[in-house]
């Protein structure tokens, strides 16, 4: 089963759920290379994150693709957390690219969070895709 979360969902999730960027670091914008209408980003605030509610049809291992890019010339690093397990994510360039992670999800609704955590947070997220 394929579930897509596009940038419009990201922008809503950033506002409603948990995009905890400091006011100076908040960014939600449009980019002609983004999938839909925009993206969220600059997770450089100490506790910056975006939280997704992802529904899995059954318990098991899933691949999550994250489309994103670094904020500048340095690689943007962060962490994807699903059900308490962390996976490092990195976006190396200023062009949109995909980062993949494998996560274990429970049947039903699962929290999937993308955050700065131990990384530098210098990245933007266009969408996530669950396969």
- C-beta neighbour count of 109 within 10 angstroms: 10
From first to last of the 131 residues of the chain, give the pLDDT tens digit: 334 443 334 433 443 333 333 333 444 455 555 555 689 988 989 889 999 999 999 999 999 999 999 998 889 999 999 999 999 999 998 899 999 999 999 999 999 999 999 899 999 999 999 98
The range of the structural domain enclosing residue 43 comes to 3-130
Query: What's 74's domain CATH number?
Result: 2.60.120.260
- C-beta neighbour count of 127 within 10 angstroms: 21
In tens, the pLDDT along 47-67 reads 899 999 999 999 999 999 999
Domain count within the chain: 1
In tens, the pLDDT along 25-41 reads 444 455 555 555 689 98
Q: What is residue 112's predicted lDDT score, i.e. its pLDDT?
A: 96
Q: What are residue 56's DSSP bridge partners?
A: 108
pTM (2 d.p.): 0.73
């Amino acid at each position: 089963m394929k579930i897509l979360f596009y940038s419009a969902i990201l922008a809503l999730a950033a506002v409603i759920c948990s995009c905890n960027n400091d006011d100076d670091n908040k960014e939600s914008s449009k980019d002609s290379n983004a999938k839909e209408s925009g993206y969220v980003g600059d997770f450089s605030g100490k506790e910056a994150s975006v939280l997704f509610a992802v529904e899995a049809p059954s318990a098991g291992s899933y691949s999550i693709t994250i489309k994103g890019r670094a904020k500048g010339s340095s690689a943007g690093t962060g962490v994807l957390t699903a059900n308490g397990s962390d996976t490092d994510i990195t976006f190396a360039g200023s062009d949109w690219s995909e980062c993949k992670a494998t996560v274990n999800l429970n049947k039903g609704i699962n929290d999937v969070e993308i955050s700065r955590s131990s990384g530098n947070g210098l990245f933007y997220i266009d969408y996530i895709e669950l396969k």
